[in-house]
Structure 1
Amino acid sequence: MAKAHPSNSRRAIFLSLLLGASSMLVVAGIVHSPGEAFRASLSGLQIWWQNVFPGLLPPIMLAELLAASGLLHGFAALAEPLTRGLFRLPGAAGWAIAFGWSAGIPAGAKETARLRDNGMIRNEDVDTVLLVSHAPNPFLIVLVIGFGFMRSPALGWAIALGLWLAAIAAGAVWARIAKPRGPRVPVLPATQPRALLIRALRAAADARKEDGRPFGKLLADSVTGAVGTLMTVGGLMMMSAVVVRLLQLFLPGNDLWLQVPGLYELHLGAYETSQSALFVSDPARACALLAAALAWTGWSGLLQARAAFGLNAPFPWLRVISSRLLHSAAALVIVYALAKLVLSGKLRFAERWPVPSANAEAWSASAGVLPNGWSHLSENMTVALASFGVFLLLALLAALIRPKTPKGKDDSGGQR
């Protein structure tokens, strides 16, 4: 049996000691201040239950339904020329990017690992694919953060658009300055639009045929997967809330702790930032800082990506952290400009969506308020239920256009 490398053994021992010591410190803090720990955990649970769960359950289900219907595969095929030209990646990477943007964290990392295991992307392409595909769910930004926390879907869309533009810009820069030297992915010649569309439709049909689940099974699996994902998010939010509160107790008198939740957990960071006085004095700057925290995704988001990436290959931690910082810097600049346009009225995503008032008192009275009342909760639930109805219609359409099972593959042995 081959012996383990000494450096790997030392790293494993160091990580074990670090995790053990950190766990013991958290346990000691909870024992020292059980009341504060309980209230912090309860606040994390409240934010998750009243905002994150109803806002994200339908979109996560939609992502699963879209993936099973094959539409995302078709979108990825359409984006292949763009993927090769901008990021110098194989066309298959477009699928990981499309799925990561729609399903959120950690779907991009999971699909990146699957493409790597199947030989569809190279090992040196992994960090670039992770950079572009690892992003929060757009519905989280618009419904939960924009509508639930900031009371402004327009600013939510500005942040979402800025994160996507920042991911594209950071990915293009990263592919040219940080990738190791090697054979470049050839850029395909310009393809006729009709041929590209036919290839996208064929990719969607093949993906739906490969999945093969009936609509009832598909819907049940999407519910199970979405609830499981959200339960994981809820546990991370509660644990992060306890850790941050303990840090505030034992290291008081530092205003920097207002932004600490964003370093650990993106949902708590978004909520705390929306509650800060910065939203009263300078909403555009607050949106820019919030976008930088969302691009970073917090340590919990990085750990989720690591878990979804699997153990078949080492996770490029250093390159992933560096690329996330690049994405954060780009998001900071782009979202600040977009938020300024939204606040000035020069950029509007919908006429009926409110834009934050320039009056500080009016803004503080409406922004960053946790919806404890039934009226706010009912509004959030109404948006979620309406979205869910649209998702069901899309899923039903996907089930109706699903290709028939070829002869000889039906379980009953007959012909459908």
Structure 2
Amino acid sequence: MSVRTMPGFRRPFRRLRHIALLGAGSGALLIGGLALAMPRVALEASLQGLSVWWEVLFPALFPFFVLSEVLLGFGIVHLVGTLLDPLMRPLFRVPGVGGFVVAMGFASGYPVGAKLTSRLMEQRLLNREEGERLVAMTTSSDPIFLIGAVSIGFFGRADIAPVLAAAHYGGAMLVGLAMRRSGMRGGGALVPPLPATGGGPLRRIREALAAMHRARLADGRPFGVMLQQALQSSIALMIIVGGLVVFFSAALQLLIHSGLLAALRQGFMLALQAFGLPASLSDAFVQGTFEVTLGSRAAGNGLSGLALPPLIDRVAAAAFVMSWAGLSVHAQVAGLMSGTDWRYGPFVRARALHAVLAAALVYLLWPLLFHGPL
């Protein structure tokens, strides 16, 4: 009998699970009570979340959801996987198909990386540890949101985009490297490493094309059926994403107006002061804990009524919030990964690590990449 299967070892984890379920139920009951007590706040916050979903998230994510399904059906993922296998396995200990997820995740933002990873896990192209590493690394903002919404929209400064992008995406790559050793004692990869072949790049390309052809034959769906199913599944996913955005937007505003987040804000103020940072950034961290858009906007504006913090500190706060991604994105990722054996624990630890690394990289890269006026 292994240690993990001993009754004495499993009992504390059952207690933690029961406590977590009780906490989630109590939180839902609290939000429901606040919504009944403050219906106008709930309605306005819900409309604000709905506006963000319809005007920003739907046009940004829906095409990528459909495109990813079509590319999977055509076997493009297998082609990319064969080409990138010699790079992805040594660096991140994931098969080459992870390179496709990294590219799509960075280009289209959260939660596309989780959506693609879940599909690859369902197709048994990734095991649990590989999927967890891939989701942790690819849960990131898209460049349009980082540059257009945060840098230009919230900060009014296009010149901070290079620092913010390098810190955010560089932190994601460092998370992938840091998680290389996770699951070392688990089962082996579902897809074994491709054998080293002679013949150079041309032979690798021929093998990649052959892998794509085999995957297309195995799928077998006509293009019309494939596109119809891609549209149906993508619309269903967008409705789930929209519901979570609306819920967390309303929950955050209800908690703020009720004063229940005052203790959390005070805690962030004390932590920031302990590190020599402006306490006026606490609003960004409080709101960013729940929702990335609201937290990034608060980082650009500072805390109303207090002096505006230095630009470098506000950019570091925005990098922290975008890399943590907010509980709204966490819920989206958990929903997309619910059909697999993925675990939330490694994901939340990776998000915290990514947030800290991204904020630290802002201070490290600031003298090198920022050349605008302060």
Q: Per the shorter chain, which TM-score range? A: 0.7 to 0.9
Aligned twin of 1:375: none
| TM-score, length basis structure 1 | 0.67
Distance 1:32 1:323, change over 3 A: same
Q: 1:294 aligns with which of 319, 322, 334?
A: 322
State the match for 1:376 in structure 2: none
2:202 to 178, 182, 194: 194
Other-structure match for 2:300: 274
Query: Between Structure 1 and Structure 2, how many residues are aligned?
Result: 342
Separation in 1, partners of 2:235, 2:123? 28
Who is 1:329 aligned against?
356
Q: Greater CA deviation, 21-30 or 317-326?
A: 317-326
What percentage of aligned pairs have identical amino acids? Answer: 27
Alignment of 1:308-319 (within 5 A): 308-313=336-341, 315-319=342-346
Greater CA drift, 262-271 or 78-87: 262-271
In 2, the alpha carbon distance for the partners of 1:279 and 1:202 equals 61
Structure 1 residue 171 displacement after superposition: 1.4
1:20 offset after TM fit, Å? 2.2
Corresponding residue SS for 1:259: helix
Q: In structure 2, give the amino acid aligned to 1:262.
A: G
Change (3 A) 1:50 1:308: closer
Residues 64/123 of structure 1: CA separation in 2 closer, same or farther (3 Å cut): closer
Inter-partner Cα distance in structure 1 for 2:158 and 2:223: 32
Give 1:78-89 correspondences, 5 Å limit.
Answer: 78-89=83-94
Higher RCO, 1 vs 2 (CA within 8 Å, ≥6 residues apart): 1
Taking structure 2 as the reference length, the TM-score comes to: 0.74
Does 2:244 align with 1:236? yes
Please report the RMSD computed on the Cα atoms of aligned residues, expressed in angstroms.
Answer: 3.8
Report the counterpart of residue 248 of structure 1 in structure 2.
256
Residues 81 and 95 in structure 2, CA contact (< 8 A), matched pair in contact too? no
Q: Counterparts of 1:52 and 1:149 in 2: how far apart (Å)?
A: 17
Q: Which runs of 5+ in 2 are unaligned?
A: 1-6, 267-279
Distance 1:92 1:174, change over 3 A: same
Label 1:343 to 1:26 Cα distance change in 2 as closer, same or farther (>3 A): same
CA distance in 1 between partners of 2:146 and 2:359 (Å): 15
1:296–1:325: 8 Å Cα contact kept in structure 2? yes
Instruction: Give the corresponding residue for 1:30.
Output: 35
Secondary structure of 2:88 counterpart? helix
Q: Please report how far the alpha carbon of residue 6 of structure 1 lies from its aligned counterpart in structure 2 after TM superposition.
A: 6.3
Deviation of 1:245 after TM superposition, in Å, equals 1.8
Q: Given that residues 106 and 141 in structure 2 are in contact (C-alpha distance below 8 angstroms), is that contact kept between their aligned partners in structure 1?
A: yes
AA paired with 1:76?
Answer: G
Q: Which sections of structure 1, spanning at least 5 residues, go unmatched?
A: 346-357, 360-416
Q: Give 3-state SS (helix, strand or coil) of 2:206's partner.
A: helix
Q: Is the 8 Å Cα contact of residues 56 and 140 (structure 1) preserved in structure 2?
A: no
1:256-309 CA distance string (max 9 Å, x none): 234222212223323333343699654443333222222222222222222222
Match of 1:45 in 2: 50
Task: Give the 5 Å matches for 1:159-174.
Answer: 159-174=164-179
- Cα distance in 2 for partners of 1:274, 1:101 equals 22
1:285 maps to 2:306: no
Corresponding letter in the other structure for 2:336:
A
Q: Deviations over 1:47-88 (max 9, x none)?
A: 333333344444444444444444444333222111111123
Structure 1 residues 11 and 83: CA distance shift in structure 2, 3 A:
same
Within the candidate set 6, 16, 25, 1:20 is matched to 25
Contact 2:136–2:347 under 8 Å retained in 1: yes
1:12-411 equivalence runs, <5 A? 13-116=18-121, 118-146=123-151, 148-150=153-155, 155-156=160-161, 159-176=164-181, 178-181=182-185, 189=196, 192-249=200-257, 250-251=259-260, 252=262, 254=266, 256-276=282-302, 281-313=309-341, 315-337=342-364, 341-344=368-371, 358=373
Q: Distance in 2 between matches of 1:36 and 1:84?
A: 49
- Which amino acid in the other structure matches residue 238 of structure 2? L
Distance 1:15 1:188, change over 3 A: same
Q: Say whether the 8 Å CA contact 1:88–1:175 is kept in structure 2.
A: yes
Question: Which residue identity lines up with residue 35 of structure 2 in the other structure?
Answer: I
CA contact (8 A) 1:236 1:265 kept: no
Q: Distance in 2 between matches of 1:67 and 1:154?
A: 37
Equivalent-residue separation in structure 2 for 1:126 and 1:54 (angstroms): 27
